[in-house]
Amino acid sequence: MAQFSPIPQAVEFVRLFWFSSAMTLDIETRDQLIETVRRFVRERLVPLEAQVSEDDAVPLDVIDEMRGLGLFGISIPTEYGGLGLTMEEEVLVCLELGNTSPAFRSVIGTTVGIGSQGIVMFGNAAQKTEHLPKLASGEAISSFCLTEPDAGSDAASLKTTAILDGDEYVVNGTKRFITNAANATLFTLLARTDPGTPGSKGISAFVVPADTPGITLGASEKKMGQQGAHICDVAFDDARIPAFCLLGEEGQGFKVAMQVLDRGRIHISAVCTGVAERLIRESVGYARERKQFGEAIGEFQLIQAMIADSQTEYLAAKALVLETARRMDEGHKISMEASCCKLYASEMVGRVADRAVQIFGGAGYVADYGIERFYRDVRIFRLYEGTSQIQQLVIAKNLLRNLET
Ligand code: CAA
């Protein structure tokens, strides 16, 4: 397989950006970044999709190329060696990354998003200086340990404890379905520091080195889709972590988790939207070529209706996600809007994938065409980082509490 040719130029471009003093990208630089990611996705990643699914692993040289492109650092501020993209710029990158198997995005996903953003938003100077440069370069990988066997949607009921003992916290409990845990060097951990206080108030957030004695990983789960991305349990058994690992203040952890998820939900929504764009391209290409009843199936109005519905919903999701990202960049509180994005974009890509299978007909059900793989891959989007039903709760609660009528 030929190497992705523009990588040296891309790396040079990233370095130029790193050493420029600009805090935001000018339009031309932004467009170059997006074009670089687009070419990397289409020329380098798309040809590897079937192999990654078959091997259940993303090749290490591809991960190195992602490091070289600065992709691990897109959301890390420039003063810590990242690209410091705005949310809108991150969305534009994710729209491109969505144009291939989501397993590739998952390589950087937790480090760029839920694994690192607790440190970016709530970390003190020492925590930022220690961790962010390594995360930005891809030398360190972070994962987000919130979910537990008995605390999924009801995150505030988590049972893992972190009890202060001298100048250390002693952590006990099990975290479940933790994306990228097997590669992680660092965990953002949510644990109960005050077991006497039930619900969200007794929870604190920590940044925990993955090699802390007492931490063990479970076996990688067999999943419906996204082969190449891995999830497993993370067990804490009297794991002692220094008190300075606390993120923010004791008892603030639930808000840390929710704010990290607000941002993560915009990121995931952009990925969903990118996948929809890819599936529409595949559907249109097939509808042009496939002949039945003596003509291309794209000539039939019932096929056209499916393509038109998918395109309309894709554009609606794109507009919603970009607008929400812009509002976040302007400093607005976007919890409700982020949930609208996640609800709409994840459900939308499910419908688009279903129509793609329908347009491909029998070929859509056969592995060689890759459409059934996307159909399985996108199912998780309606589940992780908050199910569609949790997004509905967040949206309705916010409106009922805050909307002026
Ligand atoms: N930002 C800041 N604070 C927030 C907030 C937000 N977005 N959302 C809630 N809070 C605060 C509230 O203001 C409240 O604070 P006060 O008590 O001071 O008023 C507190 O947090 C509790 O809020 P709620 O009463 O609304 O909490 P709740 O228990 O009723 O439920 C929930 C909240 C929305 C259902 C929440 O539990 C939730 O989002 N659940 C889904 C969890 C989730 O997304 N899990 C996925 C894990 S990540 C993952 O998928 C794994 C992976 O590796 C990919």
Alpha carbon distance 91, 326 (integer Å) = 10
**What is the CATH T-level fold of the domain 255-402, as seen in this structure?**
Butyryl-CoA Dehydrogenase, subunit A; domain 3 (1.20.140)
Per-residue pLDDT at 138:
96
Q: Evaluate the CA torsion angle 260, 266, 269, 275 in order and state its sign.
A: negative
Query: Using CA positions, which residue lies closest to atom 18 of ligand 1?
Result: 201
Q: Are 204 and 252 in contact (CB under 8 A)?
A: yes
SS3 sequence of 253-273: HHHHHHHHHHHHHHHHHHHHH
Query: Using CA positions, which residue lies closest to atom 26 of ligand 1?
Result: 394
Per-residue pLDDT at 111:
94
- Say how many C-beta atoms besides its own lie within 10 A of residue 69's C-beta: 25
Per-residue pLDDT at 20:
52
User: Which tokens in the block code for residue 259?
Assistant: 């704010």
In this structure, the strands spanning 203-209 and 161-165 are unpaired
Query: Using CA positions, which residue lies closest to atom 5 of ligand 1?
Result: 258
Q: Evaluate the CA torsion angle 254, 259, 264, 265 in order and state its sign.
A: positive
What pTM value is reported for the model?
0.95
Per-residue pLDDT at 7:
47
User: Which tokens in the block code for residue 401?
Assistant: 């509490």
Reading phi first (left if > 0) and then psi (alpha if -120 to 50, else beta), residue 196 is in alpha
Integer Rg of the chain from CA: 21
- Say how many C-beta atoms besides its own lie within 10 A of residue 150's C-beta: 11
Alpha carbon distance 385, 147 (integer Å) = 10
Per-residue pLDDT at 23:
54
Which of 49, 89, 277, 385 is flagged as catalytic? 385
The pLDDT averaged over each successive group of 10 residues in the chain (405 residues) is 47 54 72 95 98 98 96 96 96 98 96 96 98 97 98 97 98 98 98 95 98 98 98 98 97 97 98 98 98 98 98 98 98 97 98 98 97 98 98 98 94
Pocket of ligand 1, candidates 108, 175, 176, 254: which has the most ligand atoms within 8 Å of its Cβ, to mutate? Answer: 254
Ligand 1 pocket (Cβ < 6 Å) reads 114, 144, 146-147, 153, 155-156, 178-179, 200, 254-255, 258-259, 261-262, 335, 384-386, 390, 393-394
At 217, which helix (H) or strand (E)?
strand 215-217
Could you state, in order of their start, the residue ranges of all structural domains in the chain?
10-137, 142-250, 255-402
Q: Are 104 and 51 in contact (CB under 8 A)?
A: no
Tell me the one-letter amino acid at 153. Answer: S
CA distances from 308 to 99, 259, 271 (A): 19, 35, 21
Per-residue pLDDT at 103:
97
Q: Hey, what's the torsion of the CAs at 177, 183, 184, 190, to 10 degrees?
A: 0
In this structure, the strands spanning 168-179 and 161-165 are antiparallel
Active site residue 385: yes
Enter the CATH code of domain 10-137: 1.10.540.10
Atom of ligand 1 nearest to the CA of 156: 29
In this structure, the strands spanning 291-292 and 295-296 are antiparallel
Q: Evaluate the CA torsion angle 94, 99, 100, 101 in order and state its sign.
A: positive
Q: How many helices (H) and strands (E) does the chain have?
A: 13, 10
Alpha carbon distance 35, 256 (integer Å) = 34
Query: Using CA positions, which residue lies closest to atom 48 of ligand 1?
Result: 385
Buried b (16+ CB within 10 A) or exposed e, 161-195: bbeeeeebbbbbbbbbbbbbbbebbbbbbbbbbbe
- Say how many C-beta atoms besides its own lie within 10 A of residue 360's C-beta: 22
CATH class of 142-250: mainly beta
Pocket of ligand 1, candidates 143, 255, 269, 401: which has the most ligand atoms within 8 Å of its Cβ, to mutate? Answer: 255
Alpha helices in 70-224 (DSSP H): 87-97, 102-112, 117-122, 125-137
Per-residue pLDDT at 26:
84
Alpha carbon distance 33, 83 (integer Å) = 10
Per-residue pLDDT at 10:
56
